[in-house]
Amino acid sequence: MTGVPPGAPLLVHGMGTALAEPDWAPLTEAEVHAVLAHYPGAGGPAGRTAITWWSPRPMSAAARVRRGDRELFVKRHDVRVRTTAQLAAEHAFAGHLRARGVPAPATLATADGRTTVRRGRQVYEVHEAAPGLDLYRDAPSWTPFASLGHAHAAGAALARLHRAAAGFTRPARPPAVLTSSCAILTAADPLAAVAALAARRPGLGGWLANRDWETELTRYHLPVIRRAGPLLARQPPLWGHGDWHPSNLTWTGAGPDARVAGVFDFGLANRTRAAYDLATALERSVVDWLGLAGTGHAAADLDSTAALLRGYQETGPLDAAGRAAVAEVLPVVQLEYALSETEYFASVVPSPASVRLAWNGYLIGHTRWFTTSAGAALLEHVRRWAGRPGA
């Protein structure tokens, strides 16, 4: 077991288009070997553990592991990012979906029935490898679909996930870093909800204390929330994936007609609304946000937008009210994740440059982009699908 190859530093996706040093040290084979000893189902002879691929995602440390004849996925979190209780909620939701036919990889359990192992300030989870081809495994967030067929298949798979999620009644997850929610969007007083969140999360509150955030949110977000919030609030609560992007899916083949073979990474799953989750899927995959961060301009893929929405509607259609909620919430659907990301870079892995980008580029910049000609065209495209042209 050699661990990370000497002299070959592992770079991960940064906040822009360039690779960056990781926030967290990469997993080593010795470390994984020790963790897997807690899992009777990990399989294979005790001496045979090999890392075959390190994930380039920046906010945890993860790797694909071969253990004897088993292929596993091991992920390590700092407890400031994910606790055992938070991971238990993700695993429970994934298990509910798997029991109802969604191809979410099984989570392994320890000898005492736990799905996590804690070692000091680190928490580990172990999953079976997702079935199918991991075509987008090296793709950064917001990378578009490789084909319209993939967009259509992803929309259909999301509709199936929402059908399967019915009956999972676990309460919403509490606020934490790197989490998603629609609580602020559906609040009677969104600014008061942000202030309450900042009081509850001192890492976020400390950073906001030095910024006129009320004025910024009032200018860019409140007009949108006043339209979207009531529509979203009237939708039935439902647990959703929270990060529906092609890199969180595996595929039945490499061609444009491939279907979704597996669904993983439930780190942003929460009790929200189906319309919110569908809007998140669009936000994650049909706008060139990395171009916006690099050049100030971003293009929208209207054909992929139409394909994803068509796939969803053909499989598990939203009614007119749900479609209207998708269209109106789209410009602010990233708000609460961006707040949690701001907290992450302000207090967990302090980075002045990254926290400014999280706020100015993602939280403010994404919403402001919808006032540009490209953003307005995307919004009108989704509104026409919703039956609300010119709303």
Q: Which domains does the chain have, with CATH numbers?
A: 12-128 (3.30.200.20), 148-386 (3.90.1200.10)
What is the chain's pLDDT, residue by residue, as a tens digit (391 residues)? Answer: 334 444 334 755 556 566 667 788 999 999 999 999 999 988 766 557 899 999 888 888 999 999 888 899 999 999 999 999 999 999 999 999 999 999 999 999 999 999 999 999 999 999 999 999 999 988 887 889 999 999 999 999 999 999 999 999 999 999 999 999 999 999 999 999 999 999 999 999 999 999 999 999 999 999 999 999 999 999 999 999 999 999 999 999 999 999 999 999 999 999 999 999 999 999 999 999 988 877 888 999 999 999 999 999 999 899 999 999 999 999 999 999 999 999 999 999 999 999 999 999 999 999 999 999 999 999 999 999 999 776 6
Amino acid at 224: V
Torsion angle, alpha carbons of 76, 80, 81, 84, to 10: 60
The reported pLDDT for the residue numbered 372 is 96
The reported pLDDT for the residue numbered 3 is 43
Could you give the CA distance from residue 32 to residue 156 in angstroms, rounded to a whole number? 36
Query: In which element (H, E) is residue 65 found?
Result: strand 61-67
3-state SS, residue 369: helix
Task: Find where tokens 């707040």 sit.
Answer: 339
The reported pLDDT for the residue numbered 18 is 63
The reported pLDDT for the residue numbered 16 is 58
Copy the structure tokens of residue 318. Answer: 């939203």
3-state SS, residue 378: helix
Could you give the CA distance from residue 273 to residue 266 in angstroms, rounded to a whole number? 15
The reported pLDDT for the residue numbered 69 is 84
The reported pLDDT for the residue numbered 292 is 84
Could you give the CA distance from residue 215 to residue 364 in angstroms, rounded to a whole number? 12
Could you give the CA distance from residue 51 to residue 66 in angstroms, rounded to a whole number? 6
Amino acid at 60: S
User: Taking the alpha carbons of 344, 33, 36, 51 in that order, is the dihedral positive or negative?
Assistant: positive
Using alpha carbons, list the distances in angstroms from residue 294 to 92, 141, 169: 38, 14, 41
Using alpha carbons, list the distances in angstroms from residue 91 to 77, 86, 108, 153, 249: 15, 9, 10, 24, 17
Q: Characterize the bridge pairing of strands 12-13 and 19-20.
A: antiparallel
With beta carbons less than 8 A apart as the criterion, state whether 278 and 329 touch. Answer: no
The reported pLDDT for the residue numbered 59 is 83
The DSSP secondary-structure symbol of 257 reads: T
Neighbours of 353 (CB within 10 A): 10
The reported pLDDT for the residue numbered 1 is 37
The reported pLDDT for the residue numbered 9 is 43
The reported pLDDT for the residue numbered 45 is 60
Copy the structure tokens of residue 101. Answer: 């036919």
Could you give the CA distance from residue 21 to residue 5 in angstroms, rounded to a whole number? 16
pTM of the predicted protein model: 0.94
With beta carbons less than 8 A apart as the criterion, state whether 314 and 158 touch. Answer: no
With vertex at residue 124, the alpha carbon angle to CA 1 and CA 277, rounded to the nearest 5 degrees, is 125
